[in-house]
Structures are given as C-alpha cells and as structure tokens.
Structure 1
Amino acid sequence: MEHFVKVKFLGASGVVTGSKFIIETSEKNILIDCGMFQGVKELRELNWKNLSVNVKEIDVVLLTHGHLDHVGYLPRLVKQGFKGKIIGTAPTLAIAQIILNDSAKINEEEAEKANKEQYSSHKPALPFYTIEEAEKTINQFEVEVENKWIVLSENIKYRFQYNGHIIGATFIELDINRKRFVFSGDIGRSNDYLLEDPKTPEWADYLFLESTYGNKLHPEEDVERKLANIIRDTIQNKGNLIIPSFAVERLQTLMYILWKLYKENKIPNIPIFVDSPMGNRVLDVFKRFPNWHKLSMESYNEMCNHINIIQSYKETWETIDNKRSKIVIAGSGMVTGGRVLTYLQQLIEEPSTTVLLVGYQAEGTRGRQLLEGAHEIRIYGKYYPIKATIISIDSLSAHADQQDLLNWVKNIKNIPEKVFLIHGEPTALDAFRVKIKDTYNWNVVIPKLDSIEEVMV
C-alpha cells in the first residue's frame, strides 16, 4: 500500500546554516538535525521564532554531527515541548554537549554584557538559551553506533554511516516502506590529516545533498609550505599570527600541522598558543574516541606537549602582553564570538599582525567582512580600523568541494527519484544543480525555506 511522506525544510534551504528537516509519516515524525541559523541578522532573527510545526508531535531527532548549525537549536526545541530522544554517534553527542554548553555560556555572558553596557536594542537582552536549558537537552541524548540498522517502527529504520568532516560525523540512511532517504549531513574530504575518507551511499530514492562548495574546487595549494612562509614572515615582522579557528576539527588539524612543521624543521620553535576552552574539550574527545580518527596516542600527546594550551582569561592577557612573535589559534572560526575577539581588539590595528582565515566564512559574519577587505571591524559596539594583513587558506576546509560531492554520489546504483540540494548559498546551489544535471541527468530540486514536499513511499 502506498503512503505519502511529508518533508518540511525548516533550515539550510537556500542558505548554508540552520539544518533542520522534518519527515512526517503515519508511524513516526523524525527531525534530521536541529541547527541554528548563523550569519546575516535576517537569518539570526529566525532562531528566535518557534518552529512552524507542532514540536510535541516530533518523535525523535537524528543528528548527522555536532556542529552548531546542526545542533544549536536543540534547547529551543526542548523548550517548545520536544520530549523524545536525540540520537547520534558517541563522538557526535560528546561534541554536541560541548557546543551546547559553550554556546549557552556565551549567550548568558553576552546578554549580561549587553544589558550592563546597553548596546543592545533589546531591553532587556535575553540569552538564546541558558546553561540550565542546555543541560536539560543533553539529558535527552542517546548514543547509537555507526554502520548498524536501527529499527524505529514497523516500516522505518535508519543507519549512521561514517562521513569524515569532523569527529563522529555521519550521513544518515533512513528507510521508510523500503524507500531510502539519504541525508548527506556535511561531507568530509578525502586524504584528511586526521580523519578517514568518507563512506559513500549505494542507494538513494530521495537524496538530501549538502552544497556548501557546490560551485567551487578547493585550490591545489601546498598548505604546509604556505603556512611555513606566513610564519617566517610573522617572525621577520616581529608580529603575531592570529588564526580564528573553529573549535571542532579545524583547531586540532592546525595543531597537528604546526607540530608536524616544527618536527620536520620547516618552521622555527615559535611559541604556539591555543586559546579556546571549547577546543580544549574537543581535544579530549579525540582522546576518548581513538577509533574515530587517524592520530596515534603517542602523536596526540607529543602534539599537546609542544603547544601551549591556555586555561584562563588571565593567561589570554598574559599572551597578548607578551611582545614576542607568536602564533595564536583562538575561537571562533567566523570571528562571531569567543576569545579571538579579545586578540583582535588589541592587535588588529597593528600592521605587524597577520590574521589567517582557514575556513568557510558565512555571509554577514566578521570573518566574511575581513575576507572581503573591510577597512574596519565592529566588536562589542566599537569600531576598530584594520591595519593587519588578512590572508586566507581555502584548502583547509573540512567540507567537500564540487568534485568531492560528485565523487560522493557516484556509487549510487539507482537513479534517485529526487535530489534536494541543501546547505548552500544560492549561487552554489544553482551551479551545483546544473553540474548534477549535466553529469548524471538526475531530477534536482532546490527547496526554499519552510517549503513542503510530498513524496510517495
């Protein structure tokens, strides 16, 4: 007997962030990912609205991975009445716990600061969610293993499959009445420094495919040589190299590359500081789950011993006041918050400073402004002229590029009934739509935010 399944696109549709997809069936209502919108104000304001569905009717949340734009809305979901399980792999839930607690702490601190200094238009400024609300959400976490079919109901089962990108990340195969829905999550790259190559799907009736770099190929650049040159220039200029970094994966990758360069005598013994409380906790996840990455425990310990891990805000200021040339890796990766703002407030007006951007910079973020050559930057209500040199290394991205994405789908044996392109900006989505059409002649759809698709199963 044929049934209809409704798919609602509540995020990452026409935009990169805010991943949320609801699958409504006669047996279960399943939410795939539950992320926050990031970037321009218009998108961030969507976070404050309740979802356009009855949250109490959602039975389960399945998470592809632990990044904020895939898990950051969870406490709001719980606040709106969701009482079911939030399921992911063990490292994904460990990362999600770190990210939610950290995000809640930042939300509380920024609301308090905004109220004290009265620079917010909201009276009073409220945290998006509190530490207490984050903890309540974490209590609903449940671990499932990778590469095993889990039965949800009579005609519905799912499986997590290893996907690179960050530790614990997976794509999700969801079988409903023998039709397979594949949610790509964020797809990693082959030959990653720390992670194994992503697995690939072999069957997909309905494919939900990320398109972050759907219109781009990562440059064939020698990352190690470029980084070594930047470091030598920094030392010569008696300056500082500030690297805003995502706390999950990028920070650990940078640590590994810098340690490797030093070990191979490609850079001098310049002090390296990691200033990211969240990044430190993610390092611990690497220690707890050695089977999810390529780094041996011996290399892990050696790397951590070589690098100065900052433990307190007092140490942050001691590092800034230290006049020696140094490398500082600090959160956040898009310069939207975190410790990197303190360094930039003090050092971005110095011509001897270099700021190195090493990941995707969403529209509307300070990172995007720096990338596009802004002459000043606003931090906590004050403008700072940019005198520092701004450099970017694109090839350190943890996201698959257009060719990686095409390779990821090439082992699919059937012709999907529909391919939904998600998690991309409009230009990337459209370019990738044309590329898939030309390469595979598949039926490709670019869903709009809050659109609904009915499919037959």
Structure 2
Amino acid sequence: MNNENETPRTPAVYLQSFGAAGTVTGSKHLLQTPDLNILVDCGLFQGIKSLRERNWEKPPAALSTVDVMILTHAHLDHCGYIPLFVKNGYQGKIYMSPPTRDLTELILRDSAKLQEEDADKANRHGYSKHQPAEPLYTTTDVEHALQQFVTLEPGHTFRLNDEIGFRFSPAGHILGACSVEINCYGKIIVFSGDIGRYHSELLASPVHPVKADYVVMESTYGDRLHGEADPAEAFARAIRDTIFQRGNLLIPCFAVGRAQDVMHILYRLKNSKSIPQDIPVFLDSPMAASAGRSLLKYPDWVTLSSADAVRMFSGVTVNPDYHHTEKIIRQLGSKIVLAASGMLTGGRVLEYLKHYLGDKRNTILMIGYQAEGTRGRALLNQAPEIKIHGQYYAVKARILEIGGLSAHADQGELLTWIKGFIPAPEAVFLVHGEPSAQEALRIKVKDELKVPVTIMKEGIPQLLFPIDQNQLKAQSQWSEADRS
C-alpha cells in the first residue's frame, strides 16, 4: 500500500499517522480495518509556524473515511482539532472517559475563545497578513462537536461490532487520561496515549493493560531522565531567590494538569514555611480553576483528599477576566503568577512576558515539555529576544527549568511501561516524539525487548496483520461477559 488514499485490497489491518509522527503535536492515528476505520485522537498542530499552518490545510482524504473516534485525553494537541473535524463533516461518535469529557469541553471552549480574541486583535491592530483574520473554529463549532461526545468508564469493554471492541485504562498524565486497548479481529492493539509519571503529585500511577500484540507508544521523553529530586525543593529555591531580588515569578503552565500540580506544591511549601506564607499567588486562568474543581468531582482518579484539594485553592487568587491581567501586572511587590499556555504559544501568559522579560529581577520558571519552534523552547535555548504579537522583547529575566514536574514519563518509565506486557508485543510503533527522542527509545526497546520497533512517518501506512476470515471467531479474545 503505497498511496495514502489507496484502500487495502486484501483483508488486513493498517496503522496510519496524520500527526504526532516525528513531532510531539497534532496527534491523529488511524486504525484501518475492513469494517471500521477508527481515529485515535484528533489534535491541533502546535509549535513552529510550518506545523501551525497545517491546521488550516484540507485534511488528507483517508481521514474522510473515519467511522469512530476515540480520545485518550484532553490536551489540545490530542483534542484541539475535533471542532474543525466535525465542521468538515465527521458525524460519528467520539468516545472518552468522563473526566476527559469535562476537561475537553473546557479546553475546546477556551481554544475557540482565544482564537476569536486573537483574530479580533489582529484585525484591530493590523498585524495579520489575512484580511480579515479569522479563527480556525468558533465557539459555535465547539457546541456542535460536544453533541457527539460519549463517555465510557475505564475497564469496561465497549463493542463496536462483532469483531472490534475497546476499553480504557488510566494512564496518569492528566485527570482522565487513558490508554486504549482495541481488540480487533482477534489481535489486541494498545494505543498508549500520553503516559504519566509513576510518582505524580496528584494522580495515581498508570494502570497497565494486561496484554498487547501491537503497541502504538508515545516517546516524548524517549531520550531523557527527569531525575529523582523532589521538584518542590527547586521551586522553593527559585521563589526565595526571586523574592530576595524583589522580582516576580512567572510560571507558564498548562491549565489542565500542570497548574493543579504547581498549586499543590505551593500549598505544601507554604504549609512547611519553606516560602513566605504571605507571598501572593495568582492563577490567571479561569480554565485552570475549573479544571482544579474536577479534582473534587472525580476523587477516584486522584490521590489527593477532597479536603486538601479545597485547601490548596485557599491561598490562590483566581483572575476571572483577562481585563484584570493588567492590574495584577501593576501590583507592587513580589508575586507568583501561574498563567497558560505552558509552551508560551498564546494566552494570557504573553501579557506577563511582555512586562516581565525585560527585568533581570524577574524569573520565568519553565516546568513542562517545550516543543520545537515554541517561545518556551526559544527561552530555554537562551534566545536574546522573543517575538510577541509582532514586536520583539529583550530577554533579561532569569530563565529556569524544573524537569521533575513533567506530566510525561521519562525514558526509564517508558521502558517500565512497555516491559509490563507479558509476553512482549509482536511489534512497537513509536509516535509523539521528536526524532532524537524516538531514535533513542527505539534502540532501547529493540535491544531490551528483542521486538521490531518502527518510528511512524506521517501518512505512510504500516501493515499490522492480515486477516484470516476463517479464523475470526476462533481468535476472538474477549470473554463471554464482554460479549454480552
């Protein structure tokens, strides 16, 4: 099968990636079968301009054949393209866990609102080459997509037809994140989704699927180890040093996941008096506040007690409206500000950057993965200036990175996860990673598991297995209870 639009002539199951192949963004993985085509994740491309521009391109023809969509978790690079996909004609169901449903609604509404606001600013200030500038999708498009959401609890099998069924397993990473185990014509195909840490601040360790014939696996940190140190100690040092300099600490963070982790760390540090208890903490992201309330709604998904979840918000001031951002910036005295987005690709954090980057007393604390081409990656690479809304801002503030708070498993944890399959899978396919990380993990998995490992290339189909029609029923591995 050489042409991406060509339909397989012999009964077989194929895997094809239309995002997160050689990059960490735009996750879209198509499982093609004779009866159903299943899309796992439907994310936006983020990062460098050439990637972002792909969100505006006409989707590949193969994506028009999707019958069913399964969503692993709520981050924008996994769910952000859904409203446009629906707008372009997708009418099928979109399956996800209950927490993912709530968080995806928050994230998509926020994404549409930010796009509408950015288009409005571009038109008013004339810094877009498009006349007029338009959002990729609108809040109305989000409303239409939400009608196709269906929730399923982890561990419960849902059958799509006589030969294909699937179930979720919690994957850590963020609230509601899951791996997907698809039983397809007697073979089990596991999509890892984004795998979380085994010692998270708030979430339980990943729940490992029992068996897999084929594994489609993320590889974000395939070449890195996070280290064993408690990130709270590094936070405390950064905060104390910044206060000593009479500066401000800006923490760009993803509204879902990292913001809640950081608030919990700050709560711990104040309780232990490791940092001044009166240092103001601002959360300039209503979405992050709403996501935090989900910790109370889904207590079975977190390790934090409901009482602690309430208390960790008690010392945080939530800014409900972007009009108040300027007031926070002007407030005298040292302060800690949490604002989205985590990779500095947009959102309210950019307003703080405009004011804080030029002052050497301030600290910008980077705590998550920074994709190639983002402002976050540029800061970590010691860029002397950053472009924001058409203007350049000199970087004089101190730029620090704390890696131990990442939501992604590091190389050691990825290896622990893949080794959990007994027996080892027949083949592993790596997605969601930059080339150097993927190559490092490919070698590790191949050497330690002695199985073939393929790095997925965008648009290139991979044959998973042919189908023997005479053995379909004999091969089915679902239990009688699952069948019912």
Instruction: Give the TM-score range, shorter chain.
Output: over 0.9
The correspondence for 1:37, drawn from 32, 38, 45, is 45
The correspondence for 2:413, drawn from 404, 415, 419, is 404
Q: Which residue of 2 aligns with 1:15?
A: 23
How large is the Cα RMSD of the aligned pairs? 1.2
Aligned pairs for 1:99-110 (under 5 A) are 99-110=107-118
Deviation readout 1:104-127 (Å, 9 max, x if unpaired) = 011111111112211112222221
Q: Which residue of 2 aligns with 1:70?
A: 78
Is this contact kept in 2: 1:13–1:422, CA < 8 A? Answer: yes
Q: Which residue of 2 aligns with 1:308?
A: 317
Q: Which residue of 2 aligns with 1:285?
A: 294
Is this contact kept in 2: 1:50–1:80, CA < 8 A? Answer: no
Is this contact kept in 2: 1:104–1:134, CA < 8 A? Answer: yes
For the pair 1:51 / 2:81, whether they are aligned, the reply is no
Is this contact kept in 1: 2:255–2:288, CA < 8 A? Answer: yes
Distance in 1 separating the partners of 2:87 and 2:408: 31
CA-CA distance at 1:416 after TM superposition: 2.1
Distance in 1 separating the partners of 2:203 and 2:184: 31
Deviation readout 1:261-293 (Å, 9 max, x if unpaired) = 101111112111111122112112222212111
CA-CA distance at 1:133 after TM superposition: 0.5
Structure 2 spans left out of the alignment, 5+ residues: 1-9, 468-484
CA-CA distance at 1:55 after TM superposition: 4.4
The correspondence for 2:220, drawn from 212, 216, 220, is 212
For the pair 1:426 / 2:431, whether they are aligned, the reply is no
Q: Which residue of 1 aligns with 2:459?
A: 450
Q: Secondary structure at the match of 1:161?
A: strand
Is this contact kept in 2: 1:272–1:327, CA < 8 A? Answer: yes
Deviation readout 1:62-83 (Å, 9 max, x if unpaired) = 0110100100111111111100
Distance in 1 separating the partners of 2:159 and 2:58: 30
CA-CA distance at 1:311 after TM superposition: 1.6
Distance in 1 separating the partners of 2:243 and 2:352: 18
Distance in 2 separating the partners of 1:8 and 1:227: 41
- The answer to which of 286-295 and 327-336 deviates more is 286-295
Aligned pairs for 1:55-454 (under 5 A) are 55-269=63-277, 270-454=279-463
Deviation readout 1:234-261 (Å, 9 max, x if unpaired) = 1111110000111011000000000111
CA-CA distance at 1:314 after TM superposition: 3.7
Distance in 2 separating the partners of 1:74 and 1:449: 19
Structure 1 spans left out of the alignment, 5+ residues: none
Is this contact kept in 1: 2:286–2:318, CA < 8 A? Answer: no
Distance in 2 separating the partners of 1:88 and 1:254: 26
Deviation readout 1:295-317 (Å, 9 max, x if unpaired) = 11111111111111112234322
**Which aligned segments of 4 or more residues in structure 1 are displaced greater than 6 angstroms?**
none
Distance in 2 separating the partners of 1:242 and 1:123: 34
Is this contact kept in 2: 1:23–1:30, CA < 8 A? Answer: yes
CA-CA distance at 1:222 after TM superposition: 3.2
Q: Secondary structure at the match of 2:293?
A: helix
Deviation readout 1:199-228 (Å, 9 max, x if unpaired) = 113211111010000011112333121111
Is this contact kept in 2: 1:55–1:82, CA < 8 A? Answer: no
Distance in 2 separating the partners of 1:149 and 1:313: 43
Deviation readout 1:419-446 (Å, 9 max, x if unpaired) = 1011000000111111111111110011
Distance in 2 separating the partners of 1:118 and 1:318: 26
Distance in 1 separating the partners of 2:271 and 2:282: 17
Q: Secondary structure at the match of 2:383?
A: coil
Distance in 2 separating the partners of 1:314 and 1:58: 41
Deviation readout 1:381-410 (Å, 9 max, x if unpaired) = 011111101001011100000100010011
Judged with a 3 Å threshold, the aligned counterparts in structure 2 of structure 1 residues 109 and 162 are, in CA distance, closer, same or farther, namely same
Is this contact kept in 2: 1:22–1:29, CA < 8 A? Answer: yes
Distance in 2 separating the partners of 1:213 and 1:441: 21
Q: Secondary structure at the match of 1:283?
A: helix
TM-score (structure 1 length as normaliser)? 0.98
Q: Secondary structure at the match of 1:253?
A: helix
Distance in 2 separating the partners of 1:90 and 1:397: 23
CA-CA distance at 1:455 after TM superposition: 2.5
Distance in 1 separating the partners of 2:68 and 2:17: 16
Distance in 2 separating the partners of 1:427 and 1:124: 39
Q: What one-letter code is carried by the residue in structure 1 that aligns with 2:241? A: D
Indicate the percent of aligned positions where both proteins have the same amino acid: 46
Q: What one-letter code is carried by the residue in structure 2 that aligns with 1:444? A: V
Deviation readout 1:178-211 (Å, 9 max, x if unpaired) = 1011000000011111000101132111110100
Judged with a 3 Å threshold, the aligned counterparts in structure 2 of structure 1 residues 100 and 409 are, in CA distance, closer, same or farther, namely same
Is this contact kept in 2: 1:275–1:329, CA < 8 A? Answer: yes
CA-CA distance at 1:135 after TM superposition: 1.0
TM-score (structure 2 length as normaliser)? 0.92
CA-CA distance at 1:56 after TM superposition: 4.7
CA-CA distance at 1:54 after TM superposition: 4.8
CA-CA distance at 1:18 after TM superposition: 0.7
- The answer to which of 222-231 and 54-63 deviates more is 54-63
Distance in 2 separating the partners of 1:139 and 1:222: 42
Distance in 2 separating the partners of 1:138 and 1:72: 12
Distance in 2 separating the partners of 1:99 and 1:16: 18
